[in-house]
Amino acid sequence: EENHIPEGRVINTLEFARKSKSVEFSEIDQKRCMYLVEHLNFWYPDTAWHIVSQMEVDFHVSADQTKHVKSLMEQNGMHYEILFQNLQEDIEKQLNKRDAAGRYSYTKYNEWHKISAWTTRIVKKNPNLVSRIQIGSTFENRPMHVLKRGTEKAIFIDCGIHAREWISPAFCQWFLKEATTTYGKDENMTNILDNMNFYILPVFNIDGYIWSWTQDRFWRKNRSNTSNSACIGVDLNRNFDVAWGIYCGSSPESEQETKVVTAFIRSRISSIKAYLTMHSYSQMVLFPYGYTYEKTPNHDELNELAKRATEAIGSLYGKKYKYGTSATTIYPSSGCSDDWAYNQGIKYSFTFELRDKGRYGFLLPESQIKSTCQETMLAVKLIANYILSQT
């Protein structure tokens, strides 16, 4: 929560090993283990509790702790790679590249006030294609708008549920750009939009997104402070009413943002055929369940569709995406939006983990926005076409 992110390094452990033999994380001395848990800012996985043997782990180390952490890893035979020698410098490079004239660009990361103004402009410019619906407000009382395009059969897409994942809101903006500029020109997109409605939530976690721009680039949660804890914020993607657990808010759907989105989806549940939530990073297409290793009744169908989606992504620039259930492909987690949507009856529910695999992580360069969004569009259009063929 500090105003200035300390100079630091991100260290990517390539494997856990001791004397060339794999070891479980629990074999490390208990005190050292607790030190890592308490002093590291985990990027992937999001907490130390999800670490298993032979897993790649990305974490941020403050400059004053770097020497000690390196020593601990070397003593325990952990192989590591330093990805950012000075993380603060890379953050400032990204933030200082803002256009002085304030021009809006789909190939740059945009601050919230620009995105908000853009939602007004795109509706005004395309009144026959796009409408804007205020579905509620955030904890800090900022309006939450969904952009709507199409007919009754619907897909709901949300972006930016985790504040630091800036490529995610960039995709939602890109999707609306493609929808409005290629309608009537691209046959496939025109057919999709003529027969399917899209609800687009450009930034789910607006308060946290603003905080990630102004205070802490790697902030993940919302900005709620209603609990009795001194800890600010709740992970909104652990706050849904599905196998709800600890560290996820005071109760299922306790957070204002979660309440707003779930109420909106429930009110249109009969028409929403698919739910897509955009995240980063690790290059994966995931589907339920995350809270259990049990398979959904339509597991084979979801697995095949996810496979085809990853193939579509890879067909453009050759990027390799994994696919599978969240629990088996990434790690078990509870209270997640895709599992909740599935259990509401939305049987096509997917989580996209966009670029990259860890080289840049949450600091994905702006030079990769266009290619990331282009390849993701292919997967979204594939899913939309499949749903149209099935419903």
CA distances from 28 to 43, 69, 108 (A): 21, 13, 43
Peptide bond into 289 cis (omega under 30): yes
Unique residue bearing structure tokens 């020593």: 71
Out of 165, 253, 353, 375, pick the active-site residue: 353
Question: Is 38 part of the annotated catalytic residue set?
Answer: no
Q: Which two tokens stand for residue 317?
A: 């620039």
Closest CA to 282 of 321, 224, 325: 321
Q: Please, which residues have CB within 8 angstroms of residue 117's CB and are 6 or more apart in sequence? A: 104
Q: Please, which residues have CB within 8 angstroms of residue 337's CB and are 6 or more apart in sequence? A: 158, 161, 236, 237, 240, 261, 275, 277, 351
The letter for the amino acid at 201 is: L
Instruction: State CA 43 to chain mean position distance.
Output: 12
Q: What DSSP element (H or E) covers 59?
A: strand 57-62
Q: Quickly list DSSP for 69-125.
A: HHHHHHHTT-EEEEEES-HHHHHHHHHTT--TT----TTS---HHHHHHHHHHHHHH
For residue 273, the number of C-alpha atoms closer than 13 Å in the C-beta half-sphere is 17
Cβ-in-10-Å burial (0-12, 13-18, 19+) of 382 comes to: middle
Instruction: State CA 290 to chain mean position distance.
Output: 15
Closest CA to 321 of 329, 331, 330, 310: 310
- The residues that are catalytic are 353
